[in-house]
Amino acid sequence: MKPDNLNRRNFLQWTALTGGALGLGLSPVETIAAAAGQNIETKGHVFLTKPYLQAPEPDGMTIMWLTGRQSQSWVEYQAVGGQKLRAESSVNGMFQINPRIQRIRLNGLKPGTAYSYTVFSKEIVDFQPYKITFGETIQSGPYSFTTPPDDKENVSFLILNDIHDRPASYSQLIGLNKAEPYDFVFLNGDMFDYQTDEQQLIDHMIAPCTASFASLKPFMFIRGNHETRGKFSPNIGQYFENPGGRAYFSFDRGPVHFICLDTGEDKADDTPVYAGLADYDRFREEQAAWLAQHMQSKAYRKARFKVVLMHIPHYYSGDWHGAMHCRQLFGPLFNKHKIDMLISGHTHRYGIHEPQEGHNFPIVIGGGPQAGKRTLIRFRANPSKLSVEMIRDDGQAVGTYSINR
């Protein structure tokens, strides 16, 4: 019996039938991986996911996918009517051969331009010092995407939050947008309850995202307080790429300057369940120092609209340590430097809170995760107007907010 999808339950069945990982002569490290419920064998040389688009910029796009075996991977792409090009990941003079996670950055793209692309992975069967044996080449595509325009005119995107391991919610919520155009999707944290293994990452996020949009439109993802939990939580950063390659970041799109923060855990770092591994106070302080500096930048000061996305809102989420620490560190900076809007999740109670004492800007909070509480937030901006619309999973619009300039 070959362990195809080795989740915890069928791992136990498989161990009973075969004598387990040790019976296969695996190394102790692989044995530990097996005991942790991760895949140690896969379906062979196949795509474990469709390609998904990351880190969109007017002149670049990252294409990621997962393969079952070690591969040399590349992307063939072309602008509509243009010449066919090939991109590969080269580090220090070597084309990369990755065991599973394939990541190719396309650089030098034209802004606001449609591209088609196909991804390829050639199996490495044997890697001897002077004899490398390749296997079959598999391909997936063609798909297409459009680079963001490099102007200050328009942006539109969709926001999901607090899915909490309910993969069907992705297509159900994205479907609420009907056929309205959008540029990308923003995943605003707590897409999981906690991190178990790669298979969970595939089944509960990457596959549902590619099934509804992610091979054609990029997504960005910031952690909520649940992505910090579980044995696979230290690994998840490898599977995603934000603009600038960091967990917290900023980017400009249309007339809006966006700031995305990682609010970390909701409880104090010394809470016993974190077992001494939590360092989120320091991490939030690091972000506050970056934010204070960043808000002095020309990109920030000159932007027509300034919008912050972060999972835990610093108001309306009780007096837990994480929220209060965000209020203490980020709140004064948001007010002083006049952000136009904060968009969050976390509370599982959707709502739009008007500017009032404590926050001089609206706080938009998406709901979830159960049916009847889930929302899609639709964001649009042009130079004279920023607007958000919150749509509940039954299709009902449950909140709107506009800022005119």
For 18-68, the DSSP string reads H--GGGGT--HHHHHHHHTT--SS-SSSSBSS--EEEEEETTEEEEEEEBS
**How many Å apart are CA 54 and CA 279, to the nearest integer?**
27
Task: Detail the DSSP E strand segments found in 155-212.
Answer: 155-160, 184-187
Select from 57, 123, 183, 190 the one that contacts Fe ion (CB under 5 A).
190
Task: Provide the 10 A C-beta neighbour count for residue 298.
Answer: 7
Instruction: Write out the binding residues for Fe ion, residues 294-313 only, by CB under 5 A.
Output: none
C-beta of residue 177 within 8 angstroms of C-beta of residue 213? no
**How many Å apart are CA 131 and CA 117, to the nearest integer?**
31
**How many Å apart are CA 86 and CA 117, to the nearest integer?**
9
Is residue 49 near Fe ion by the rule CB under 5 A?
A: no
Task: Give me 115's structure tokens.
Answer: 């591209």
CB 346 to Fe ion: min, Å: 4
The residue with tokens 């200050």 is 152
Choose one: 16-24, 152-160, 185-193, 379-387; the region binding Fe ion (CB under 5 A).
185-193
- Nearer to Fe ion among residue 49 and residue 228 (C-beta): 228
Is residue 123 near Fe ion by the rule CB under 5 A?
A: no
Distances (CA, A) of 135 to 42, 125, 396: 16, 6, 52
Q: Which residue is nearest to Fe ion (CB)?
A: 346
CB 94 to Fe ion: min, Å: 41
Total residues interacting with Fe ion, rule: CB under 5 A: 4
- Nearer to Fe ion among residue 321 and residue 337 (C-beta): 321
- Nearer to Fe ion among residue 40 and residue 326 (C-beta): 326
- Nearer to Fe ion among residue 3 and residue 224 (C-beta): 224
Choose one: 25-33, 76-84, 120-128, 344-352; the region binding Fe ion (CB under 5 A).
344-352
Choose one: 45-53, 68-76, 125-133, 220-228; the region binding Fe ion (CB under 5 A).
220-228
- Nearer to Fe ion among residue 254 and residue 313 (C-beta): 313
Rg (CA), the chain: 22
**How many Å apart are CA 61 and CA 254, to the nearest integer?**
17
Select from 210, 225, 228, 250 the one that contacts Fe ion (CB under 5 A).
225
- Nearer to Fe ion among residue 64 and residue 163 (C-beta): 163
CB 367 to Fe ion: min, Å: 12
- Nearer to Fe ion among residue 162 and residue 198 (C-beta): 162
Is residue 224 near Fe ion by the rule CB under 5 A?
A: yes
Choose one: 121-129, 168-176, 189-197, 253-261; the region binding Fe ion (CB under 5 A).
189-197
Q: Comparing C-alpha atoms, which of 331, 330, 333, 314 is closest to residue 322?
A: 314
- Per-residue binding string, Fe ion, 56-95, x by CB under 5 A, is ----------------------------------------
Is residue 164 near Fe ion by the rule CB under 5 A?
A: no
With the C-alpha atoms ordered 305, 306, 311, 315, is the resulting torsion angle positive or negative? negative
For residue 123, list its beta bridge partners: 71
- Nearer to Fe ion among residue 42 and residue 317 (C-beta): 317
- Nearer to Fe ion among residue 318 and residue 332 (C-beta): 318
Task: Detail the DSSP E strand segments found in 131-239.
Answer: 131-146, 155-160, 184-187, 219-221
CB 376 to Fe ion: min, Å: 18
Is residue 346 near Fe ion by the rule CB under 5 A?
A: yes
Task: Provide the 10 A C-beta neighbour count for residue 263.
Answer: 29
Q: Which positions lie near Fe ion, rule CB under 5 A?
A: 190, 224-225, 346
